[in-house]
Amino acid sequence: MELDRMDENDWKYHGEGNKSLVVSHVQHCRVLRLLKYPAEDSENPPQTAEQAFRQIQNIVDFTSNVMSCLLGEKFVHSGEVVRLPLEFVRQLSIKIQHQRPAWRCDKVMDIYSGCALCLPNLTSPTLHQPTPTPPLCIEIKPKCGFLPSPKHVSKDIKTRVCRYCMHQHYKVANGKWKRRSLYCPLDLFSGNRQRMHFAIRHLIEEPQNNLKVFKGGQCIYSSKEGSDESPDTNSLLHHLRPYFLRGNNRVNGHMTTKAVLNDFIQVLGNALLSAAGGDGGQVTDRTGEGRSFCEASLFNRERIRHGSQGLPTNNILSRILQTQMLDSLDIEGLYPLYCRVEQHLQDFPKDRTGLQIDGPYDQNFLEKVQKCSMEDDGSVEYAAAKVHQYRIAMTAKDCSIMVTLVPSGEEEDDDEDLSSQKRLRDFRPQAFSSSVSVLDLDPKPLDSVPRQLRLDQKIVSCYLRTGGTLP
């Protein structure tokens, strides 16, 4: 990619979140991730080009020095900051504008700084050999997978119903979504096959912004905010059918829609549980603590058979969960420590740098976080370290997992010694090679802490008012 000879015709709209807009290259496996601003600031950008550059460099540093160590290097791509010609960025913004969903247009793409984050395109992996069907990528935004400890929360309901499920009621009450999703993150993070299956099925039924499916780099399945219609599951299954028919048609040429869906969910579950090197021991079994089951989940507890497995270590789900659990005090327990930091910064503004409140996100920052003692010694250093931990946990609660499924090119094993039943069982999981990455690992600013406390209070009181009575 030659940065001085950029042509907007080589790039196309790929997707966006709340904070950034992503365009992908039409040939190379690259994306550019650009910042977004509130539309009312479109005439005068809220920050200078140098500040925008710093912000993106902070994202790169935070991703590579902090999140990558906690989540595992092999899952994380930190990318690099690039400076683009302003004319290119302006033309690009005009070109893609009509493809943006209307409900995202309260923000505009940053056309002033010329800075962007350049990343590998995780939805169109480089292939080493041709595949019978294009790669499938499934993006899951899993959200928080554990319940807070009763020690720190003022409302008992928070120890029984998870944040995601309570937030669903709030979002439906406020019209953000028309229907509540029956997905519960605690089911996904359980490591129990049946609960994971249940969770993924409900992600598919009501994807909201927690699930997207890409085929050959194109998004083929997602939700539209505020829309009355559910996304077209039949169209998704139509896309998926050829991927799952192959392994099966020898035994039975016909495959029901339900079977396609079940196979898809099974392959996705396998990919999420596959370990990434190291030992695959099982430690994260939190069933005993009573903090791994959400009362709002419709999964029937009795269906969990005896000896249900916990979450094996070293896979992506357990790494994300452990990082989320750096939020050990809950927002309610953390808030007084945040206030201690804020008060100190008002008295000694210069300490902002030494406490690394806005970075730099370097080795030293990670050490502060990892060496933080359990005991509060009343110091501002302790308070700042707990706030850092909380912010890292927030990033882990907001990230997305990208699962790439590459159909294997090889033909079925023709070993006649195998019974067709055995061949069927063995074949299906091998029909794909999978890889997993994590994306969207931006650091959260300090002022997100008081905002989180207010939101938490609103969500909990809304749930206590309406909980369980909504459809």
List residues near ligand ATP by CB under 6 A.
Answer: 14-20, 22, 31, 33, 119-123, 139, 212, 398, 400, 439-440, 442
- Contact window for Zn ion (CB under 5 A) among 181-189, 339-347, 370-378, 393-401: 181-189
138 vs 162, which CB is nearer to ligand ATP?
138
- List, in sequence order, every residue forming a beta bridge with 211; answer none if it has no partner: 140
Cα–Cα distance for residue pair 390/386, rounded to 1 Å:
6
Residue 14 or 171 having the CB closest to ligand ATP:
14
Q: How far is the CB of 62 from ligand ATP (least distance, A)?
A: 13
- Alpha carbons 363 and 374: distance in angstroms, whole number: 21
CB of 255 to ligand ATP, least distance (A): 29
Q: Crossing angle of helices 380-398/363-370, nearest 10°? A: 100
Q: Which of 165, 331, 334, 380 is in the footprint of Zn ion by CB under 5 A? A: 165
The size of the interface with Mg ion (CB under 5 A), counted in residues, is 3
Q: Which uninterrupted H or E stretch holds 52?
A: helix 49-61
Q: Is 465 exposed, middle or buried (0-12, 13-18, 19+ CB in 10 A)?
A: exposed
What is the nearest approach in angstroms of ligand ATP to the Cβ of residue 198? 24
Give residues with Cβ within 8 angstroms of 213, minimum separation 6.
Answer: 136, 137, 138, 139, 219, 220, 221, 222, 236, 239
Q: Using CB distances below 5 to 8 A depending on partner kind, what does residue 31 bind out of Zn ion, ligand ATP, Mg ion, none?
A: ligand ATP
State how far Cα 432 lies from the chain centre: 22
3-class SS at 260? Answer: helix
Does residue 114 bind Mg ion (CB under 5 A)? Answer: no
Please give the residues from 14 up to 33 whose contact with Zn ion meets the rule CB under 5 A. Answer: none
CB of 181 to ligand ATP, least distance (A): 16
Please say which residue, 89 or 439, places its beta carbon nearer to ligand ATP. Answer: 439
Binding mask 429-448 for Mg ion (x = CB under 5 A): -----------x--------
Shortest separation between residue 311's beta carbon and Mg ion, angstroms: 23
DSSP conformation letters of 121-149: -TTSPPPSS--SS--EEEEE-----SPPP
Q: How far is the CB of 160 from Zn ion (least distance, A)?
A: 10
184 interacts with, out of Zn ion, Mg ion, ligand ATP, none, CB within 5 to 8 A per kind: Zn ion
Residue (162 or 236) nearer to Zn ion, CB: 162
- Interface positions, 291-310, toward Zn ion (CB under 5 A): 294, 296
Based on CB atoms, which residue is closest to Zn ion, 330 or 442?
330
Q: Which two tokens stand for residue 379?
A: 């110091």
Under the binding rule (CB under 5 A), the answer on residue 79 touching Mg ion is no
What is the number of the residue whose Cβ is closest to Zn ion?
A: 294
Does 341 help bind Zn ion (rule: CB under 5 A)? no
149 in Cβ contact with 291 (< 8 Å): yes
Binding status of residue 182 toward Zn ion by CB under 5 A: no
Q: Least distance from C-beta 50 to Mg ion, angstroms?
A: 22
In which residue are the tokens 């020898």 written?
250
> Pick from Mg ion, ligand ATP, Zn ion, none: which does 265 bind, CB < 5 to 8 A by kind?
none
Task: Report the distance separating Cα 275 and Cα 259, nearest Å.
Answer: 26
Who's near 253: CB < 8 A, 6+ residues apart?
none
Residue 162 interface partner, choices Mg ion, Zn ion, ligand ATP, none, CB cut-off 5-8 Å depending on type = Zn ion
Q: How far, CA to CA in Å, does 142 sit from each of 157, 401, 409?
A: 21, 8, 31
The least distance separating ligand ATP from the CB of residue 222, rounded to whole angstroms, comes to 9
For tokens 């899952």, the residue is 75
For tokens 């920052």, the residue is: 365
CB closer to ligand ATP out of 16 and 187 = 16
Q: Which is nearer to Mg ion, 18 or 252 (CB)?
A: 18
User: x/- contact string, 19-58, with Mg ion (CB under 5 A)?
Assistant: x---------------------------------------
Pairing of strands 107-109, 30-38: antiparallel
Give residue 217's region: left, alpha or beta (phi > 0; psi -120 to 50).
Answer: left
Q: Which residues pair with 312 in a beta bridge?
A: 282
- Helix, strand, coil percent values for the chain (each to nearest 5): 45, 15, 40
Asked if residue 335 lies in contact with residue 449, where contact means CB atoms within 8 angstroms, the answer is yes
Which residues of the chain form contacts with Zn ion (CB under 5 A)? Answer: 162, 165, 184, 294, 296
Residues that bind Mg ion (CB under 5 A): 17, 19, 440
